A and B are shown apart, each in its own frame.
Chain A
């Protein structure tokens, strides 16, 4: 009789705990319809906007303990779009993304620290065209119903990743600094 009670208690406790875990660690699904990842750069001082239409993100954000959060993003470089099909094709070539050899760019967060209400300092590794670099950037996080919204931007130097080789190294033609902007929405 005693054992049965214990087993039942055990089962009930196990079930309660299993149901409680999602409330603490939110592994959410990317809402690709609402999310955007894009870049802004300057071409002879003319601001140019471009976006990546295909990317995936796994964000395991823990609102209670942000330092334990995990985030990784993978971008499909062939989905690059700056509004002109000819230029979109050009950017996939060897001198630029070399998408044939390196089809994806990735970011993996190594640390996330709270820096204010709804603000995080993110550190991580950005890998493009076979080169990896440590990056740090601020990110804002907002909860809207079952959605979590992550916004941020990080400036990178394209030449550090060898993007734009040969005659394209000229930064007066295409500036070295490129700002990656993202608006990532996840649903639970």
Chain B
């Protein structure tokens, strides 16, 4: 029996969907904080929060799926330390994919603004308004987004290095197909 050489299709779908949502949330987050107060700014803040909540829900599903799946083997040409670094990066990415939206969620709660998902469903605030906590959570959220930016950059660059420099076909693991 040939070893599986790619992730299960649902995990592949979730990977790319979540990647797109994270990029969108990041772009909005970068732009919206510098805008002067306007209706558009407020819209961006709302969209940003909806994206964050969506990512959080999807990553929870994805983690469960991942834990109950077998990941495809790394290319044979990959050294042991590279495999260790890759595993560590992926674990850290999972941690951050929870920590970033969670810190944002607590931030908006501490600021006294519940998330009304898609403008329709008011989500529970869990913590009450707290001006001091609001400030700390804002800083934490921003710090964590910088960390995930660094990790995602590393992740993307490593994948491209493997695919186009090492030419070990690593992208196949995360591409749909047989």
Contacts and interface: CB of A to CB of B under 8 A. Distances in A.
Nearest to A91: B37
A43 B46 CA distance: 10
A43 B37 contact: no
B61 to A, nearest CB: 26
Range of interface residues on chain A?
Answer: 10 to 19
A43 B113 CA distance: 10
A24 interface: no
Please indicate which of the listed interface residues A47, A87, A170 has the most CB atoms of chain B within 10 Å of its own CB: A47
Contact of A83 (B38, B115, B120, B129): B129
Contacts of A46: 46, 113-116, 122
B42 interface: yes
Contacts of B82: none
A45 interface: yes
A49 B112 contact: yes
Nearest to A42: B116
Nearest to A89: B37
A144 interface: no
Contact of A43 (B42, B122, B131): B42
A12 interface: no
B37 A87 contact: yes
Contacts of A17: none
Nearest to A93: B37
B119 interface: yes
Q: How large is the interface on B (under 10, 10 to 19, 20 to 34, 35 or more residues)?
A: 10 to 19
A173 B43 contact: yes
B37 A48 contact: no
B118 to A, nearest CB: 9
B178 to A, nearest CB: 45
A48 B39 contact: no
B97 interface: no
Point out which of B38, B39, B122 has the most chain A C-beta atoms below 10 A from its C-beta: B39
B97 to A, nearest CB: 25
A1 interface: no
B174 to A, nearest CB: 36
B111 interface: yes
Contact of A44 (B37, B46, B112, B131): B46
B114 A44 contact: no
Nearest to B40: A167
Interface in A1-60: 43-49
A83 B128 CA distance: 13
Given A83-B111, A83-B129, A45 B39 contact: no
A167 B129 contact: no
A44 B42 contact: yes
Most buried by B among A45, A47, A83, A86: A45
Interface of B: 37-39, 42-43, 46, 111-116, 119-120, 122, 129, 131
15 contacts: A44-B46, A44-B116, A44-B119, A45-B116, A46-B113, A46-B114, A46-B115, A46-B116, A47-B114, A48-B112, A48-B113, A83-B111, A83-B112, A167-B38, A170-B39
Interface of A: 43-49, 83-84, 86-87, 90, 167-168, 170, 173
Given A45-B119, A83-B112, A168-B39, 10 more contacts: A43-B42, A44-B46, A44-B116, A46-B113, A46-B115, A46-B122, A49-B112, A170-B39, A173-B39, A173-B42
